[in-house]
């Protein structure tokens, strides 16, 4: 039963981005800025930034970052 809550939370988070693509575009800008500093989108620093800016857990931030990079800014590394 514990595994259901995080999956549901991640699903709601991804749905919120799907409904508001501007959120994803803003995140892409932030991730590109980190890339320019040599920081990868999957790094602990980037994940922590996403977690803090979206007020989510680091696990949800990892899922969100992967989703956003894959669909909205595949140029981000």
Position 48 in a domain:
yes
Q: What are φ and ψ of residue 61, in 5° steps?
A: -65, -40
Position 50 in a domain:
yes
Number of residues that make up the chain:
77
Prediction pTM value: 0.82
What's the domain count of the chain? 1
Residue-wise pLDDT tens digits, 52-67:
999 999 999 999 999 9
Domain that holds residue 67: 38-77
Residue-wise pLDDT tens digits, 3-51:
444 556 668 889 989 999 999 999 999 999 999 999 999 999 999 999 9
């Amino acid at each position: 039963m514990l595994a259901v809550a995080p999956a549901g939370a991640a699903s709601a988070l991804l749905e919120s981005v799907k409904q508001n693509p501007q959120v994803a575009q803003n995140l892409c800008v932030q991730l590109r800025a980190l890339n320019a500093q040599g920081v990868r989108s999957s790094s602990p620093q980037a994940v922590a930034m996403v977690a803090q800016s979206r007020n989510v857990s680091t696990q949800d931030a990892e899922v969100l970052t992967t989703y956003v990079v894959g669909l909205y800014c595949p140029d981000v590394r």
